[in-house]
Every structure is written in structure tokens, then in C-alpha cells.
Amino acid sequence: MGDQAVFESPHELDFPYSRSLGPTLSAFMTGLRDGQITGTRGDGGRVIVPPTEYDPISSAPTEGSVNVGPGGVLTSWTWIDKPKPSHPSDKPFAWAMVKLDGADTAMLHILKAPSADGIASGMRVSAQFRPEAERVGCMADIAAFIPEEGS
């Protein structure tokens, strides 16, 4: 049969999902739409951000909604010099873990800065929200975190 072709073809998947949030995440996403980051209280009153329905260690139900941020501390980061098409920024940026003021856990988002120089864990950063008209109730309502003045 001679040299035989092995065939390939492109295969694209689209899942246009909408997810129902439930009360805990609804409070969080509603807060984001309204320009406020919130968490919930777990064991010993520790504030979990983003909120979870149950305490991550004990599995006891969490309670209430607590305002946190918009400023906080960078607890970890990674500089992405060559963003992928799937990344939330097309210019170089950092992924960031941010422990917001009032929170006891860190939240994943992105940090925009001119370069990796001057980024260090422990620095203060602040959430930059999108304009009110663009916010719908999702993590992208925060456009990015940026270094706080004087950081």
C-alpha cells in the first residue's frame, strides 16, 4: 500500500455554559458587580476570600458576608513575559495571590506592572475595578491589581 497518510483534522469545542451561583457565590459576585470585594467567615471567624460554602479545614458551614480590600498584600506572584492567547492580558503581566485587607486567605487574580522589577511578595497592591457599566458580577469585574502608591 505504499506510504500512507495519517489523517488529522481540527476539532473545536464550544461550551456556552451559564452556572447558577448559590447564595455564597451570589453574594460575592453581586459584591463585585457593585464594586466591593467580600469574603465569608469560617472557623474561628477567619475571613475566607473568595468565599467558600464550607470551611476548608473543618467543613463546617461558613457564615455571613464581610467587606474586604480593595487594598491588600501580595503573597505570591509569577511574571509572565510572553502571555498566551488564553491569558487575561495580552501585555506582560503577573499572576498574583493577594491577601486583601480584612481577609485571612489569598485570592488569585492578575497584577499589572511595567515589569517584574519592583514586584515582591509583601508589597501592597490594590484592586482596580472596571467602570460600573461594564461590571456584571464576575472575577473580571476587577480589571487587575496594581501596586499601591509608594509600594
Partner 1 sequence: MSEAREPVTMLSTPIHLDYHFVAGDSQSKTLQGYLEGKFIGQRCEVCGKVYVPSRGSCPTDGAPAREVVELPNTGTMTTYCVVNVPFAGQNVEIPYICGQILLDGSNISFMGLIQEIPASEVRMGMRVEAVWVPEEELTPSLASVRYFRPTGEPDADYDSYKEYL
Partner 2 sequence: MSKFPELTSGSRPIAVVSFAQAKAVRADIAHNEVEMLLPVFGELFAKAGITKDDLNFICSGSTDYLIGGPFSFVMALDAIGVWPPKPESHVEMDAAWALYEAWVTMQEPGKDVSLVYGFGKSSLASDLGKVLALQMDPYTMAPLWPDPTSVAALQARALLDAGLATEEDFAEVAARNRRNALKNPYAQVARDDDLATLMAEAYVASPLRRHCLPPITDGCSALILVAGERAYDFSDNPAWITGIDHRMETHALGARDLTQSPSTERAAVEAGVAKGGLDLAEIYAPYAHQELILAKALGLGADTQINPSGGALAANAIMSAGLTRIGEAATRIMSGEAKRAVAHASAGPVLQQNLVAVLEGAR
Give me 131's grid cell.
Answer: 467602570
Q: What does 33 bind: partner 1, partner 2, none (CB cut-off 5 to 8 Å by kind)? A: partner 1
How far is it, in rounded angstroms, from Cα 23 to Cα 125? 29
How far is it, in rounded angstroms, from Cα 125 to Cα 70? 9
Q: How many CB atoms lie within 10 A of CB 113?
A: 21
Q: How far is the CB of 82 from partner 2 (least distance, A)?
A: 8
Residues lying near partner 2 in the complex (CB under 8 A) are found at 6, 8, 11, 13, 19, 21, 25, 28-29, 48-50, 52, 56-57, 75-81, 84-88, 95, 97, 99, 105-110, 116, 121, 138-140
Q: How far is the CB of 32 from partner 1 (least distance, A)?
A: 8
Question: Does 4 interact with partner 1 (rule: CB under 8 A)?
Answer: yes
Residue reference for cell 498574583: 96
Question: Does 27 interact with partner 1 (rule: CB under 8 A)?
Answer: yes
Residue reference for cell 460554602: 53
Question: Does 3 interact with partner 1 (rule: CB under 8 A)?
Answer: no
Give me 61's grid cell.
Answer: 458551614
Q: Reduced to 3 states, what is the DSSP secondary structure of residue 5?
A: coil
List 56, 111, 137, 151, residue binding partner 1 (CB under 8 A): 137
Q: Reduced to 3 states, what is the DSSP secondary structure of residue 134?
A: helix
Residues making contact with partner 1 (CB under 8 A): 1, 4-21, 25-27, 29-30, 33-34, 132, 136-138
